Amino acid sequence: MPRRLCSGNRMVAEGALAAGCRFFAGYPITPASEIYEVMMRELPRHGGMALSAPDEISSLCYCVGASLRGLKAMTATSGPGWALMIETLQYALMTETPVVIAVVQRLGPSTGGATQGAQGDVWLTEFATSGGYTIPVFCPSTAAECHDLTVHAFNWSERLRTPVVLLSDKEVGMTTEVVDDAVLATPPAVERADFAGGRPFLTYGFAQPEEVPAFAAVGGEVKVTVTGSAHDQQGRLRKNAPEVIEVLRHLERKIEVHAEEMELARTDLDPGASHLVVSYGITARAARQAVAALRREGVRVSFFQAQTLFPIPRRALDWALAGVENVLVAEENLTGQYRAVLARCLEGKRVVGINRIGGLIAPGEIVQAVRAAEA
């Protein structure tokens, strides 16, 4: 099996192709541009269409339009572009339209540091909807994970008919590293469930709130009624109808019931550990190295890398937390965004944040923090 040199961004694009992506619209922004460039080059060869959009709002609207027509679609951007996409993201959520957005983080706020990494968009990606709906977010730490998590992102997006974010960052995206194709753990591609007939079609039909409505493409045989306004199962704009509220609950419920199934985490547990280092994305790499160094010194420490950031991988986390006193959450942002989100899962533990902006968190900083917690 070949080993090759690849950037994380390139592996996101390859993952999209492996997942069956057939439409891509993009707009240049460091550090995500390489995904756009690779898709422009490769997608036409795979029977799809890749296109330059005139802004990020258009990028995502084009993707949603193509997905409504039945194509698997993706776009890629960074914080500033993501900010422009949020209205359309909510539309995709409300209209139950599958679409994947790769957000390659850079230093913010505003234009921030275009060529500097960060993990500062955890809140901005997850808490981007009116109503506070769960946006599934997957977060790779290596080029290989970029590939596999992109396929997972597509699969969940198609399966649940909902927008999904692949949250990468400049360091994972633009660093070139050796990828061993033999160790990729790529899941098979999942297709959205098409309406099979046999009953009247409802664009947003479900018998139980957790069910995902069967999909029919705009342009197909059955009439499709798409709307971003509060609607009933048929897609009719209604106000003050209990069914509308039921549909809104269903949007969250269909994700909630799959939360456990969506859990992806890399754990390395020591049953006698009193410390658990929690991390994700680029910082998980420093954390793994720190944990190995600590163990060489005889420190009992466990490690948890969230690959699914949202829904929170609660079951895997609870397992990792058993018997642990101190939880150290390492992430490259100022305020401990994921730590704050995890707080409700960490009751009764001593929680320590390891944070930094403007540069990678080094393994030494994590080692020191664990040692300080020992004392």
Partner 1 sequence: MAENQYLAPDAKLPYCRGCGHAAVVRHLSRALERLQLPPRSIALTTDIGCVGLADSLFPYLHTVHTTHGRSTAFATGMALAEVVLEPGGLKPVVMIGDGGAMIGLLHLVHAAQLNVDITVLLHNNFLFGMTGGQHSALTPLDFATATTPGGNWTPPLDLVALLRAAHAGFLARHLATDAALDATIAEAIAYPGFALVEILELCTAYGTRWNQLTGSKLKEIIARQGYQVGRLEAEAGRPTLRELYRRAPPSRPARAAAPEAEKPMTASPLTAELRLVVAGSAGERVQSAAALFCRAALAAGLYTTQKNDNPVTQGTGFSLAEICLSPRPIEYTGMENPDVVIVASGDGWKELQANGTFARCRPETLLLIDAELEAPPAQGRLLRLELRRAASPSRAALAGLAAWLVLSPFLPDAAWQAALATLSADRRAEPSEALRMGRELRADRTGTNP
Nearer to partner 1, 144 or 153 (CB): 144
What's the gap between Cα 348 and its chain centre?
29
- When asked if residue 285 is in the footprint of partner 1 (CB under 8 A), the reply is yes
DSSP string, 175-223: -EEEEEGGG--PPPP--PPBP--SS---TT--SSTTPPPPB--TTSSS-
Q: Which is nearer to partner 1, 289 or 351 (CB)?
A: 289
Q: Does 364 bind partner 1 (CB under 8 A)?
A: yes
Smaller CB distance to partner 1: residue 237 or 322?
Answer: 237
Complex with partner 1: residue 219 or 298, whichever CB lies closer = 219
Query: What is the rounded distance in angstroms from the CA atom of residue 331 to the CA atom of residue 337?
Result: 8
Which residues, 6 or more positions from 71, have their beta carbon under 8 angstroms from its beta carbon? 22, 23, 48
Contact with partner 1 (CB under 8 A): which of 12, 16, 32, 61?
A: 61
User: Pattern of binders to partner 1 over 226-265, x per CB under 8 A?
Assistant: xxxx-----xxx----------------------------
- Written as six digits, the tokens of 44 are 């036409």
* Residue choice 186, 220, 265, 270 for contact with partner 1 (CB under 8 A): 220
CB atoms within 10 A of CB 149: 29
Nearer to partner 1 (CB atom), residue 22 or residue 152: 22
How many residues bind partner 1 (CB under 8 A)? The answer is 71
Residue 245 Cβ vs partner 1, minimum distance, rounded to whole Å: 19
Compute the distance between CA of residue 270 and CA of residue 285 in angstroms, rounded to an integer: 18
What tokens were used for 181? 């194709």
The answer to whether 160 contacts partner 1 (rule: CB under 8 A) is no
Classify residue 131 by burial, with Cβ atoms within 10 Å: 0-12, 13-18, 19+. exposed
Binders of partner 1 in range 110-129 (CB under 8 A):
114-115
Contacting partner 1 (CB under 8 A), which of 12, 19, 35, 53?
53
Query: In this chain, which stretch among 47-55, 120-128, 301-309, 311-319 interacts with partner 1, using CB under 8 A?
Result: 47-55
> Of the two residues 194 and 221, which places its CB atom closer to partner 1 in the complex?
221
3-state secondary structure of 112: coil
Q: For residue 205, state whether it binds partner 1 (rule: CB under 8 A).
A: no
* Residue 265 half-sphere exposure toward CB, CA atoms < 13 A: 26
341: nearest Cα among 139, 97, 141, 173: 139
Contacts of 302 (CB under 8 A, 6+ apart): 267, 268, 269, 270, 273, 275, 276, 277, 291, 320, 324
Q: Which is nearer to partner 1, 312 or 367 (CB)?
A: 367
Query: Would you count residue 221 as binding partner 1 (CB under 8 A)?
Result: yes
Residues between 169 and 188 with contacts to partner 1, criterion CB under 8 A: 171, 174-178
Q: Which is nearer to partner 1, 177 or 252 (CB)?
A: 177
Segment near partner 1 (CB under 8 A); pick from 188-196, 264-272, 284-292, 338-346: 284-292
Q: Which of residues 291-350 bind partner 1 (CB under 8 A)?
A: none
Residues in the chain: 375
Residues 72-111 within binding reach of partner 1 (CB under 8 A): 73, 87-88, 91
CB 11 within 8 A of CB 23: no
